[in-house]
């Protein structure tokens, strides 16, 4: 079966969608809607792969029909999300509607497979047309696409009107509405072409494959930012993880001097805390350590003390306490701090930048 998308472009785009789908299954699976979206993209990725294989010479004819069936199953995901987000439908009714939607898509796929076999038996390529198999394909393809996308679009428009979407959800929902609008235009053009003979736009199904591929890519790009952030967190390249690494030498040396201030988790789950939790704990523990080390600071410096000088004084206090030297002051000295977490974190990151050159472990 021919395709309107050149292979040198279609294969890389399909690979990107497959990788995106695998990433969603790995990092976004906590909520029921997340799992529905994952299944939607899984069917989309399967359809794109089958469309690509269908263009390979010698590929069996039914592969193209199965790809169309995957498109129909993808639209049942839109129907399921549209029902899941509605509060006026009870769970039993929602499940019945979803079962009917999936059953209709399966039956439509079987009808398309039978129509494709009949068309090949007559030496024709499967497509919409005024033959009985062409009309079966037109009805079996267009009906679930229009119904399922309409259910989803109704839900999105409703939530846009009541303001029940986060900014990121609005971006994703708007992109899906745009892609569905393109699909509806494609269906309308096919209807005009089929029954009026105008305009002459070539085969119907390759055009439907093109609009489907564009829609999948648009809907994969829209949520790419949160997935990218999840991947960065997984490999430790997000902002919080980088800040943890920058603070670690300072935290390690100060908590070695004041080990009693280290916060121990109540239970050990075997899973390390996320970077945001770690950066909060490290900041609190460094601030506590600085308070305990304040009596060990050397004489009060001039008002123009810079970060390097302060780091040297903290390093002296840490080494003095760790090695058992007596405090310098009978009363605590004021330590670095503003009382604001983010301001304190910025100050501690500045201290951490000069810490390696200041700390030698020698109190002399």
- 222-251 pLDDT, tens digit each: 655 555 555 555 555 567 777 888 888 888
Residues in the chain: 364
Average pLDDT over residues 174-185: 82
Residue with the bigger pLDDT between 265 and 258: it is 258
CA distance 107 to 101: 10
Query: What letter does residue 261 receive in the DSSP assignment?
Result: G
CA distance 63 to 49: 10
Of 173, 148, 147, 150, which is closest to residue 160 (Cα–Cα)?
173
Average pLDDT over residues 82-100: 82
CA distance 200 to 100: 35
CA distance 293 to 290: 5
Contact by Cβ (8 Å): 257, 319: yes
Task: Return the residue matching tokens 């085969």.
Answer: 203
User: For residue 265, is pLDDT > 70?
Assistant: no
CA distance 143 to 187: 10
Distances (CA, A) of 227 to 23, 36, 127: 7, 16, 37
Residue 361, pLDDT score: 54
CA distance 282 to 253: 12
User: For residue 209, is pLDDT > 80?
Assistant: yes
Return the structure tokens found at 291. 């308070």
Residues 22, 23, 27, 28: is their CA dihedral positive or negative?
Answer: negative
Residue with the bigger pLDDT between 58 and 294: it is 294
Confidence of residue 314 (pLDDT cuts 50, 70, 90): confident
User: For every residue of 153-204, which 3-state class applies, written as one string?
Assistant: HHHHHHHHHHCCCCHHHHHHHHHHHHHHHHHHHHHHHHHHHHHHCCCCCCCH
Average pLDDT over residues 328-338: 56
How far is residue 242 CA from its own chain's centroid? 21
Residue 273, pLDDT score: 62
Cis peptide bond prior to 28, omega within 30° of 0: no
CA distance 111 to 103: 12
- Each residue of 108-124: b (16+ CB within 10 Å) or e? bbebbbebbebbbeeee
Does pTM surpass 0.85?
no
Of 355, 338, 341, which is closest to residue 245 (Cα–Cα)?
355
Q: Which helix (H) or strand (E) holds 309?
A: helix 307-322
Q: Which helix (H) or strand (E) holds 139?
A: helix 132-162
Confidence of residue 362 (pLDDT cuts 50, 70, 90): low
User: For residue 266, is pLDDT > 50?
Assistant: no
User: For residue 105, is pLDDT > 90?
Assistant: yes
Q: What value, to the nearest 5°, has the Cα angle with vertex 318 and ends 317 and 321?
A: 80
Tell me the average pLDDT of the chain.
79
- 107-132 pLDDT, tens digit each: 999 999 999 888 888 888 888 888 88
């Amino acid at each position: 079966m021919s395709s309107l998308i050149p292979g040198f472009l279609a294969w890389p785009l399909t690979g990107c969608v497959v990788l995106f789908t695998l990433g969603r299954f790995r990092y976004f699976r906590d909520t029921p809607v997340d799992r529905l979206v994952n299944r939607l993209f899984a069917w989309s990725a399967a359809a794109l792969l089958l469309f690509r294989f269908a263009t390979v010479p010698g590929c069996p004819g039914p592969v193209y029909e199965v790809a169309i069936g995957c498109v129909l199953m993808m639209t049942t995901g839109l129907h399921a999300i549209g029902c899941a987000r509605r509060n006026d439908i009870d769970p039993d009714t929602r499940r019945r509607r979803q079962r009917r939607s999936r059953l209709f898509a399966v039956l439509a796929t079987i009808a398309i497979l039978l129509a494709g076999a009949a068309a090949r038996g007559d030496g024709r390529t499967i497509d919409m047309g005024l033959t009985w198999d062409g009309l079966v394909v037109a009805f079996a393809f267009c009906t679930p696409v229009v119904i399922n996308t309409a259910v989803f679009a109704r839900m999105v428009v409703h939530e846009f009107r009541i303001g029940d979407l986060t900014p990121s959800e609005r971006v994703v929902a708007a992109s899906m509405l745009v892609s569905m609008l393109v699909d509806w235009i494609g269906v309308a053009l096919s209807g005009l072409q089929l029954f009026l003979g105008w305009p002459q736009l070539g085969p119907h199904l390759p055009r439907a494959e093109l609009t489907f591929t564009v829609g999948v890519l648009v809907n994969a790009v829209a949520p790419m930012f949160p997935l990218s952030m999840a991947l960065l967190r997984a490999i430790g390249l997000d902002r919080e993880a980088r800040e943890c690494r920058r603070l670690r030498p300072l935290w390690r040396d100060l908590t070695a001097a004041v080990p009693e201030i280290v916060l121990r988790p109540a239970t050990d789950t075997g899973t390390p805390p996320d970077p945001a939790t770690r950066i909060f704990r490290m900041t609190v523990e460094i601030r506590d350590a600085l308070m305990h080390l304040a009596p060990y600071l050397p004489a009060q410096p001039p008002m123009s003390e810079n970060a390097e000088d302060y780091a040297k004084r903290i390093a002296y206090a840490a080494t003095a306490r760790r090695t058992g030297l007596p405090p310098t002051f009978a009363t605590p000295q004021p330590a670095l701090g503003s009382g604001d977490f983010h301001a304190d974190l910025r100050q501690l990151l500045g201290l951490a930048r000069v810490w390696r050159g200041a700390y030698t472990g020698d109190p002399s």
